[in-house]
Amino acid sequence: MRLRDCHNFHDFRRLARRRLPGPIFDYIDGAADDEVTHRRNTASFERCDLVPNVLRGVENIDMSVTVLGQKLAMPIYCSPTALQRLFHHSGERAVAAAAAKYGTMFGVSSLGTVSLEELRQAHDTPQVYQFYYHRDRGLNRAMMQRAKEAGVQVMMLTVDSITGGNRERDKRTGFSIPFRLTLAGMYQFGIKPAWGINYLTHERFKLPQLDQHVDMGSDALSISKYFTEMLDPSMNWDDVAEMVRLWSGQFCLKGVMSVADARRAVEIGCTGIVLSNHGGRQLDGSRAPFDQLAEIVDAVGDRIDVIMDGGIQRGTHVLKALSVGAKAVGVGRYYLYPLAAAGQAGVERALDLMRSELERGMKLMGCTAINQLSRENLRFR
């Protein structure tokens, strides 16, 4: 199987599975507890049907949107995800370059493996910086100041990860940073030597956003300990309101799922929220973002940019979310599998397929612009 044989999300996933050692594939692929929420995220779209209009003159299609003050050529962006250079040695560099080619936004994680400054200098497309709230308030302020000095346009605070989810696949293989592999996990690395060769022959793995705080070369602090020891479980709305004031720009909360929290985000001055359950990787049994989207949009959609992520695998999924009222959607696994499979070429192919699906879907829906999509085009079973 080669990259040119990949025509959809599932093809990229299969190719990634062939190329990655089992523990790393499971880190991308897995979710919390019984992984029920992970499966529901995509299944939720299947309960919604599109009702197209015809004879609308759809020769020219405009897929552009403006979200969080940023003009995007299409209504999806690459959500910030951690540890990307574990999946392919090019990591965030590949994702940023592909996003720039297709005129969309990309995110850089606090647990990213390429510095936000390098990516900001390399590409002039909109960049999100995703971070976690630390016990050390000085560190929080320093991270925001660093992002501002780098020219990052959007600050995104993840609020659903105050502690790590129970990811049992990782426990079985011993996946962690630094590696603590079980015998079964070591065997999986042994039968995929190409990954190890690439890992050892490229620059040293590091976390440049946190390299002064997380020691990757010793037992000082693992990623799991980072979540349990460095993040602040006492974070509250007053803390976030202070961060919004300090940033004084586009500020988005990622992980909002309730109407009450959405309204509070508006009250403290956030400019956007991302409906997300972290891809099912945190609280298993939580509601799918698409199922929750309508009531959030109805409550605050006229006062704040409502975005969603979780379960997006097709252009029609994006069109359904936009029809309900989302301003844009974020994707994670959708680009991580192709990144793992083929680096930048893989991410570009995935975004190109999505762009084609969106254009085709809009034409078949009888829409020439995103703002023509509405709930009138939807029926729920």
Q: Which residues are catalytic?
A: 278
In sequence order, which residues have a C-beta less than 8 Å from that of residue 158 and are 6 or more positions away? Answer: 130, 131, 132, 254, 255, 278
| Helix (H) or strand (E) segment spanning residue 251 | strand 250-256
**Which ranges of the chain does DSSP label H, i.e. alpha helix?**
9-19, 22-29, 36-46, 84-87, 91-101, 116-122, 137-150, 168-173, 183-190, 193-201, 223-225, 237-247, 259-267, 289-300, 315-324, 333-365
For residue 63, the one-letter residue type is M
SS3 assignment, position 158: strand
Q: Which residues pair with 379 in a beta bridge?
A: 49
Q: Checking phi first, is residue 91 left (phi over 0); if not, alpha (psi -120 to 50) or beta?
A: left
Q: Residue 319 phi/psi, 5° resolution?
A: -60, -35
| DSSP letter, residue 120 | H
Q: Is 7 exposed, middle or buried (0-12, 13-18, 19+ CB in 10 A)?
A: exposed
